[in-house]
Structure 1
């Protein structure tokens, strides 16, 4: 009890378990990996010089940057209007659209990549349709090229762009636009001069996050691209498989990490939240520019209240032919984006019920043969059970240490909180292949390569980061006066946490646990390195089958994995609903 009391007086100590796991599995091994790339203790740049001396290596590096830039730009072009239309929709419609965006975001990377193989393949949906219509006489080359890589990567990254944009747009004061319109600005001018500049922090954060994640793509380019579409992550993975030269592997890894680090240092992605800091714009270089706009707009808004009361009620929301046509265009655009995000999963689900010896859309007859094939195969069910065991262990471990860390961070000095939060979030903000190699080196020292414990620890460093983000967001809206009231009634720190804090933040904790489980259940890159070829999880077995043979059984597995995030959202909604009911006072 005395120890708990001391921890309550020193909340930063609650972050020690999460930081200890992070340092043991990733932090210290990453430092050793960097020293290895420098040939320590001799310290030379020979490994980096050798990398850049080969033209093929430089070509792969430039190709990685090019693909990441193109994918990011397309995500901005599609994601910005999508986010704008979602933010402008009614509350119920907005929630429905956000759910439709979140579902593919939570769906397995591997499943979404497999869906595009089924759609774009030589015997896939599009080629079968073109052949049936007589448009082509032989299958069109829609897969194993750069276009297929872009289609798959943009499909995976688009929700990552849309969600931050919607969050920023919903926080923009609509009175700014109203003030601009009341001063005679046309709708487009008001949008371009007021709304768009205020939404730039969302564009910056979303673009940076998409670009950094694209740098580390491995599964999608390897599955959908050709030999000339290799990314640097693919190049590093090939080095791991074909060579034991750790120094060269380390140099390649840190070149990839340097790309991500340069972008993060230049643009300063802030994932630590704003709790406890003065309110201000996310884009610090433009702080004075923000104030120069915000201050006049507030005064204009106050001066224009009387004028708007007479004029705007009649004209601002009046339905005209032009607004009706634009509304129709916006509706069609959102429908097409949602179709792009959801249709691949629908195709996989429908095709999984095919009765023939191969997959067809639509199926000529319905059958559960591929589901029977999955549940009747010890190899498949064994891999699934292994994934469930590891996922549950990861969820338990990361939820406990992540919740403690989030609770401690919420009560720490802002600057220290920001630094520690960014440190904890490092495993999900840098390329996955770099984390995997560092974790492999760390677990090798502990003799945990090829064990479930080693895989669970590797998954936990990323899962803990997600738990910290989700629980911290819940604690940001938590009224600390309730804790002070409980302590004033002589409740101990432990009693206060159990009776007051925990019930109110329980939805965030459950959400973090479910997200941690999904993160573990979807992991392929890290698992492939630390499993030591002795443990096969379900995603790893799926990836091996996709690379060597397209087994129709994968369609049944993929369809079940598509339904997993839907079940996750239902559980989260029920938890939130019950929490809301408990928080409402009883009628007198």
Structure 2
């Protein structure tokens, strides 16, 4: 209690455990890895020169940037109208659609990639349907090509684009659009000149997140693409497994990291910007700096003013047009996107109950044989238990450390809070293959490679950032006057935290714990580097089965992984509902 009282006077001290783990496992190792890439203490760029001297490496690098950019642009084109239509829906429909977007977002990326293998494979759903209808005589090459990789990447990243857009669009004041309409602006003009600029922070945040995550894609291009569709993460992973030249591997990793850092520095990722308020440009466009161009631009903008005035006068008292068709088109578009996000998982769940010796859709009969195979096979069962055990340890460690860090950050100066938060979020904003290499170097120093403890620490550096984000958002809506009222009644800091603060932020803490568990349970790339041959988690077992074996049991495993986020959302909803009921009772008791 005495320690808690001291820390309450200096809240930044609560972030010490988080930064200690981050520095030991990731911060200092990534500096050592960078020095290794420079051949320290000789300090030369020979490893970087060797990378760029090979044309194959340069081709893979540009291919990685190209594929990430195409996937990002596709997510923006699809995600922006989807988010706009979700926000425009009624409250209940909006909540239902957000939940439907959250389900694939929380689902294992490996399970979703497997779903597309089932759909696009030579004996997959689409080819079987075309063959049964006699539309083709042989299976179409729908998999192991660039198009299949894009389909899988966009499917995995689209929720990450939609959710930031929805969070920003909800905060936009809708009366601004109505004001623009009353001034004679047409619907598209009001949207383009009022709503769209206010939603740009969501576009920027979503685009940066999607692009940086795509740079580190490893599973999807390896499972759905061919030899010509490999990305730099696949190249680095191959170097790690087949070569002991850590300096060359480090140089490749830092080249990938440099791309991510350049994008983050150019575009920025301000997660704390107030939503719904117009953003001021940090610097003017180079076109605006040309005075002659600016004069011509103003002159061209003034030309249509008389016609706008006449059109506004003519349309002032006209009845509004029938927007029934626009609503039908919008509803159809959203339904199509929901099918794209949810249909692959639905197909895998149905096929997992197949009674045949092979997976088929629709199943010729229903059976639980593949689920019995999963629970009866020690290989699958032990891998699942290992993932659950590591996931609970990661969730416990990251929840305690991340909650303390979030509580301390919420009580520090805003400028310092932003810098420290971005440092904590570094492991989840850097490409995962770079994080994996850095943690490998750090845990080698502690002799924890191939151990469950090392795997827990490696997973925790990313899980802590997730908990900090979720708990910080909960604390942002917390009324600190409740703490002041408790202290005015002579409650000590520890009592205030346990009896006032903790019950009110409990939903955020449990939500952070659930997300931390899912983060650890789905981790593959870092686990494959840290766990070695000793720690065999469920994602590793699934990945080996996908690449080297044709075992229909994996359909049952993927189905269970797809049901896991649904159970997590139910638990979070029940926790939130109970917390809300307790708060309502607390307000009602003094009134009675």
Moved over 3 A (4+): 278-284, 286-289
SS across alignment from 1:285 = coil
Separation in structure 1 between the aligned mates of residue 273 and residue 257 of structure 2, nearest angstrom:
26
Q: Offset of 1:282 from its aligned partner?
A: 5.5
| Superposition RMSD in Å | 1.8
Q: Offset of 1:200 from its aligned partner?
A: 1.1
How do residues 18-33 of structure 1 correspond to structure 2 at under 5 angstroms?
A: 18-33=18-33
Q: Corresponding residue for 1:94? A: 94
Q: Corresponding residue for 2:282? A: 285
Q: Corresponding residue for 1:562? A: 562
Separation in structure 2 between the aligned mates of residue 92 and residue 462 of structure 1, nearest angstrom:
33
Q: Corresponding residue for 1:418? A: 418
Q: Corresponding residue for 1:294? A: none
Q: Corresponding residue for 1:583? A: 583
CA deviations on 1:343-395 (whole Å, 9 max, x unpaired) are 00000000000001110011010000000000000010000000010000000
C-alpha contact 1:281 1:287 (8 A) present in aligned 2: no
C-alpha contact 1:218 1:233 (8 A) present in aligned 2: yes
SS across alignment from 1:501 = helix
Go from structure 1 to structure 2 and tell me whether the alpha carbon gap of 1:409 and 1:281 turns closer, same or farther (over 3 Å shift). farther
Q: Offset of 1:535 from its aligned partner?
A: 1.4
Q: Corresponding residue for 2:393? A: 393
How do residues 249-260 of structure 1 correspond to structure 2 at under 5 angstroms?
A: 249-260=249-260
C-alpha contact 1:201 1:281 (8 A) present in aligned 2: no
Separation in structure 2 between the aligned mates of residue 146 and residue 362 of structure 1, nearest angstrom:
28
Q: Corresponding residue for 1:348? A: 348
Q: Structure 1 residue 461 and structure 2 residue 458: aligned? A: no
C-alpha contact 2:198 2:276 (8 A) present in aligned 1: no
Q: Corresponding residue for 1:299? A: none
Number of matched pairs = 561
SS across alignment from 2:353 = coil
Go from structure 1 to structure 2 and tell me whether the alpha carbon gap of 1:120 and 1:541 turns closer, same or farther (over 3 Å shift). same
Q: Corresponding residue for 1:209? A: 209
Stretches of structure 1 that go unaligned for 5 or more consecutive residues are 290-310
Separation in structure 1 between the aligned mates of residue 522 and residue 3 of structure 2, nearest angstrom:
38
Q: Corresponding residue for 1:305? A: none
Q: Offset of 1:550 from its aligned partner?
A: 2.6
Separation in structure 2 between the aligned mates of residue 503 and residue 91 of structure 1, nearest angstrom:
27
SS across alignment from 2:572 = helix
Q: Corresponding residue for 2:49? A: 49
Go from structure 1 to structure 2 and tell me whether the alpha carbon gap of 1:515 and 1:284 turns closer, same or farther (over 3 Å shift). farther
Separation in structure 2 between the aligned mates of residue 267 and residue 185 of structure 1, nearest angstrom:
31
Q: Offset of 1:284 from its aligned partner?
A: 4.7
How do residues 469-488 of structure 1 correspond to structure 2 at under 5 angstroms?
A: 469-488=469-488
CA deviations on 1:378-437 (whole Å, 9 max, x unpaired) are 010000000010000000000000000000000001111001100000111110000001
Q: Corresponding residue for 2:149? A: 149
How do residues 129-148 of structure 1 correspond to structure 2 at under 5 angstroms?
A: 129-148=129-148
C-alpha contact 2:432 2:525 (8 A) present in aligned 1: yes
CA deviations on 1:132-162 (whole Å, 9 max, x unpaired) are 1111100100000000000000000000000
Q: Corresponding residue for 2:515? A: 515
Q: Corresponding residue for 1:298? A: none
**TM-score calculated relative to the size of structure 2:** 0.93
CA deviations on 1:158-203 (whole Å, 9 max, x unpaired) are 0000001111111111111111000111111111111111111111
Separation in structure 2 between the aligned mates of residue 411 and residue 70 of structure 1, nearest angstrom:
41
Q: Corresponding residue for 1:35? A: 35
C-alpha contact 1:215 1:256 (8 A) present in aligned 2: yes
Separation in structure 2 between the aligned mates of residue 423 and residue 488 of structure 1, nearest angstrom:
36
Separation in structure 2 between the aligned mates of residue 146 and residue 400 of structure 1, nearest angstrom:
43
How do residues 157-556 of structure 1 correspond to structure 2 at under 5 angstroms?
A: 157-271=157-271, 273-274=272-273, 281=278, 284-285=281-282, 320-321=321-322, 323-556=323-556
Q: Offset of 1:490 from its aligned partner?
A: 1.1
SS across alignment from 1:199 = helix
Separation in structure 1 between the aligned mates of residue 318 and residue 390 of structure 2, nearest angstrom:
60
**TM-score calculated relative to the size of structure 1:** 0.93
Go from structure 1 to structure 2 and tell me whether the alpha carbon gap of 1:420 and 1:392 turns closer, same or farther (over 3 Å shift). same
SS across alignment from 2:478 = coil
Separation in structure 1 between the aligned mates of residue 451 and residue 273 of structure 2, nearest angstrom:
39
